[in-house]
Structure 1
Amino acid sequence: MKNMKRIIILSFLSILLVSCKDNSIEKNYELDYNPNEEINLVNKQKSGIGYNIISIPGHILFYGHSKDYIIVIQKPSDSIYNFNENLKYDKMMEKVFKSNFNQFWILKVKNDSLFGPFQKAEYLKKRKEIGVPDNLKINYSTEEFYLKVQRKDIQYKNPDSEVVDVKNLMGNQPK
């Protein structure tokens, strides 16, 4: 019984520590998760009803940032499965985790301008068009965002090296 109490207390403390972690990226933006095991980019400024404003929904797999831009590879769950398929939750998530489909986003921090979603070719073109510096890389993974790593997305194991700086890839760490 004492061991069970210790486990419960340690689990609670671990969850508390993780939830207090600063997931800020730039300006008013941070990563936050939703109940569907998805990581969103949110604006920490409160909306009129007391909630963070979601800038990029779905599940952010990889990202990069500077004081001027946030660039993101996102897996849009709602584009992978169709609600008409009438799948159980576990089957829907399995389909999402196994999918290679993803989209790209660019957020211009200074004026909160959001561009996307794009396919890879469109993303690369838009980067040049709006002046995202070549040295800004997608070099963060969200795989370690959770305490127990619930996500099993295959992209985490084999990221697209044309757009992800695989050699310098870091987990989601606070600044």
Structure 2
Amino acid sequence: MKNLIIILFLSILNSSCENNTVGTNYELDYNPNHEIHLINKQKSENGYDLISINGHILFYGHSKDYVIAIQKPRDSIYDVKENLVYDEMMKKVFENNFNQFWILKVKNDSLFGPYQKAEYLKMRKKIGVPENLKIDHSTFDFYKSGTRKDIQYKNPDIEVIDVENLKGR
């Protein structure tokens, strides 16, 4: 019985870690505001994870060569001069429909963005992101295991998100 419990625990631990992995060197993680960001699993010189895409990643896609993501940027929506309390600030951020797009070239950790949708689509072509690489993952399942409940995952943009094949939802 004890061995069965250990095996069950290890399989749950292994499957939960797999859900957060994006490609070989990256994974989704929570920041202190319970937003989901993309980190490079290789540690910096001071031992901390390297953050590749900050803010809150809503949707993403990846291959061995690229990670593409749609992110909700707190710093582009909320102005610190408004002097709102934390809950008011986060409500304003997550009720806003403003999103940004990012492209990460895995080979050399080159990050392109933030872009608006039209700029993102042009940059995809310019740097050679294959057309068959789709934004086909949602962070909703990972996110709902956290504590925030105010993020908007409704009405994803079908021009850039492969809704029919969306994983993690």
What is the TM-score of this pair, normalised by structure 2? Answer: 0.86
Conserved? CA contact 1:37–1:151, under 8 Å: no
RMSD: 2.0
- Distance (Å, rounded) in 1 between the aligned partners of 2:124 and 2:70: 13
Cα offset, 1:168, TM superposition: 1.0
Identify unmatched segments of 5+ residues in structure 2: 1-8
Match of 2:17 in 1: 21
Conserved? CA contact 1:102–1:119, under 8 Å: yes
Stretch deviating more after TM superposition (53-62 or 143-152): 143-152
Cα offset, 1:148, TM superposition: 4.7
- State, as a whole percentage, how many aligned pairs show the same letter: 68
Identify unmatched segments of 5+ residues in structure 1: 1-12
> For 1:43, what is the secondary structure of its paired residue?
strand
Aligned residues: 157
Cα offset, 1:80, TM superposition: 0.6
> For 2:102, what is the secondary structure of its paired residue?
strand
Stretch deviating more after TM superposition (163-172 or 66-75): 163-172
Conserved? CA contact 2:68–2:101, under 8 Å: yes
Conserved? CA contact 1:73–1:104, under 8 Å: yes
Mapped pair 1:47 → 2:44? yes
Runs of 4+ in 1 over 3 A off after TM superposition: 16-20
Match of 1:10 in 2: none
Mapped pair 1:170 → 2:161? no
Cα offset, 1:113, TM superposition: 1.1
- Distance (Å, rounded) in 2 between the aligned partners of 1:18 and 1:117: 33
Conserved? CA contact 2:34–2:146, under 8 Å: no
Cα offset, 1:152, TM superposition: 2.5
Deviations 1:3-47 (A, max 9, x none): xxxxxxxxxx9xx95996231111211111111011111101111
Amino acid at match of 1:162: E
Amino acid at match of 1:164: I
Match of 1:79 in 2: 76
Q: Which has the higher contact order (CA 8 A, sep 6+)?
A: 1
Match of 2:34 in 1: 37
Amino acid at match of 1:99: N
Deviations 1:99-136 (A, max 9, x none): 11111000111121111111100000000111111111
- Distance (Å, rounded) in 2 between the aligned partners of 1:141 and 1:151: 15
Structure 1 or 2: more helix by fraction: 2
Equivalent residue for 1:89, pick from 78, 83, 86: 86
Deviations 1:115-163 (A, max 9, x none): 1111100000000111111111001001111315624222x11111111
